[in-house]
């Protein structure tokens, strides 16, 4: 099996975020793409790693199928300008190069934070998918277990991971450094993914977590709902006070979930009021319970003038000066 293992990689080193997002694969897409590689190219051993920073395909084949797999991936993602995107991929045509790259990725040498602890787990998850699909044969099984053993030795016998353990860990460390002179600092975390969750987990002393502050909660599919619910439930179950900014259009579907079963969950319903500056100064805002009868006097009223006053509310403009972490 000399020189049969090959690989291709698109990562943060070669492609901007917009491109990485376009070619990224979720778990179901990884499974479907692996099966298409098998059926179209007669490749029976494939490992696909896809994270926010990289999408990579490792495979065992007599022929070099890198170009064919890249074309197939771009077609699957609906990308028509294939010539431009080819330049973003790094191709490893020899077994030595492909194996070396896999070892370096799996140990965190190619992570944004060198020694990142997330990537070994992500590689293991990808290997599990390949095994479940019966697409991890003798070569890939042996290679992956050798990779995991090497990663374990690196962690136990070197000081490689004595610093920041992940991007989220580094973000928390920097945040704590710049806010150490501020009493009860308020920190805005943008992002629903794994790194955003880990930032919250690593934020020592955090008591109240506000989700969806940038109007990001507006799920359209069941899987999106489940993703938000799993993330927030993780913190509710550990005693954190959690608030979620919920658009009024999503309230009925939201109430079918389990978050409201937690007493430490404080939902915030978002209602967009049009043309506030055009209304009379004395205009009042009334919120009715839609299940009450037509004579319902309203359960809450507030002067619309308060909405016009930028001193009363935190303006989104206040966040524009924040530094990226």
> Can you list the positions of beta strands (E) in 124-190?
none
- The residue with greater pLDDT, 255 or 40, is 40
- The residue with greater pLDDT, 296 or 42, is 42
pLDDT band, very low/low/confident/very high, at 37 (cuts 50, 70, 90): very high
CATH number corresponding to 5-157: 3.30.460.30
- What is the pLDDT, as a whole number, of residue 137? 92
- pLDDT of residue 266 exceeding 80, the answer is yes
Contact between 277 and 304 (Cβ < 8 Å): no
- What is the pLDDT, as a whole number, of residue 224? 72
- In degrees rounded to 5, what are phi and psi of residue 90? -100, 130
What is the chain's mean pLDDT, rounded?
Answer: 79
Question: What share of the chain in percent tops pLDDT 70?
Answer: 70
The pLDDT of 90-114, averaged and rounded, is 89
pLDDT, one tens digit per residue, over 119-130 is 888 899 999 999
Domain boundaries, the chain: 5-157, 178-319
pLDDT, one tens digit per residue, over 223-242 is 777 778 888 888 888 788 88
36-40, 54-58, 209-213: least confident range: 209-213
Alpha carbon distance 93, 66 (integer Å): 8
pLDDT band, very low/low/confident/very high, at 40 (cuts 50, 70, 90): very high
- What is the pLDDT, as a whole number, of residue 323? 45
Cβ–Cβ contacts within 10 Å for residue 135, how many? 22
Contact between 130 and 44 (Cβ < 8 Å): no
34-38, 43-47, 112-116, 312-316: least confident range: 312-316
- The residue with greater pLDDT, 269 or 134, is 134
- What is the pLDDT, as a whole number, of residue 81? 78
Which of 52, 242, 260, 301 is the catalytic position?
A: 52
151-160, 296-305, 309-318: least confident range: 309-318
- The residue with greater pLDDT, 209 or 196, is 209
Alpha carbon distance 310, 305 (integer Å): 10
- pLDDT of residue 211 exceeding 90, the answer is no
- What is the pLDDT, as a whole number, of residue 57? 97
Question: What share of the chain in percent tops pLDDT 90?
Answer: 34
- The residue with greater pLDDT, 35 or 254, is 35
Alpha carbon distance 19, 157 (integer Å): 37
Chain centre to alpha carbon of residue 6: 28
Predicted TM-score (pTM) of the model is 0.59
- What is the pLDDT, as a whole number, of residue 320? 45
Instruction: Give the 3-state secondary structure of residue 236.
Output: helix
Alpha carbon distance 2, 289 (integer Å): 71
The pLDDT of 296-316, averaged and rounded, is 54
- Whether 52 is a known active-site residue: answer yes
- What is the pLDDT, as a whole number, of residue 112? 72
Contact between 221 and 250 (Cβ < 8 Å): no
Contact between 43 and 101 (Cβ < 8 Å): no
Alpha carbon distance 115, 158 (integer Å): 11
- pLDDT of residue 65 exceeding 90, the answer is yes
Please count the helices (runs of H) and the strands (runs of E) in the chain. Answer: 12, 9
- pLDDT of residue 316 exceeding 60, the answer is no
């Amino acid at each position: 099996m000399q020189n049969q293992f090959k690989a291709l990689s698109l990562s943060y080193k070669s492609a901007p975020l917009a491109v990485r997002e376009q070619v990224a694969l979720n778990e179901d897409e990884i499974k479907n793409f692996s099966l298409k590689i098998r059926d179209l190219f007669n490749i029976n051993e494939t490992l696909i790693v896809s994270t926010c920073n990289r999408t990579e395909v490792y495979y065992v084949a007599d022929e070099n199928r890198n170009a064919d797999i890249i074309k197939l991936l771009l077609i699957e993602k609906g990308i028509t300008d294939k010539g431009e995107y080819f330049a973003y991929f790094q191709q490893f045509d020899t077994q030595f190069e492909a194996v070396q790259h896999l070892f370096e990725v799996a140990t965190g040498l190619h992570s944004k934070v060198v020694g990142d602890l997330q990537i070994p787990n992500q590689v293991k998850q990808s290997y599990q998918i390949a095994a479940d699909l019966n697409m991890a044969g003798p070569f890939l099984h042996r290679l992956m277990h050798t990779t995991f053993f090497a990663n374990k030795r690196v962690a136990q016998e070197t000081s490689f991971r004595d610093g920041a353990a992940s991007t989220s860990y580094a973000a928390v460390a920097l945040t704590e450094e710049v806010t150490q002179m501020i009493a009860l600092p308020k920190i805005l975390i943008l992002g629903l993914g794994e790194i955003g969750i880990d930032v919250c987990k690593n934020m020592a002393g955090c008591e109240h977590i506000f989700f969806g502050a940038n109007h990001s909660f507006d799920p359209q599919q069941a899987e999106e709902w489940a993703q938000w619910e799993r993330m927030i439930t993780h913190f509710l179950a550990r005693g954190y006070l959690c608030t979620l900014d919920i658009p009024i259009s999503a309230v009925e579907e939201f109430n079918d979930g389990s978050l409201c079963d937690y007493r430490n969950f404080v939902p915030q319903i978002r209602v967009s009021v049009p043309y506030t500056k055009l209304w009379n100064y004395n205009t009042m805002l009334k919120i009715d319970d839609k299940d009450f009868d037509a004579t319902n006097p309203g359960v809450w009223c507030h002067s619309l003038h308060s909405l016009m006053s930028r001193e009363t509310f935190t303006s989104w403009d206040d966040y524009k000066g924040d530094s990226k972490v």
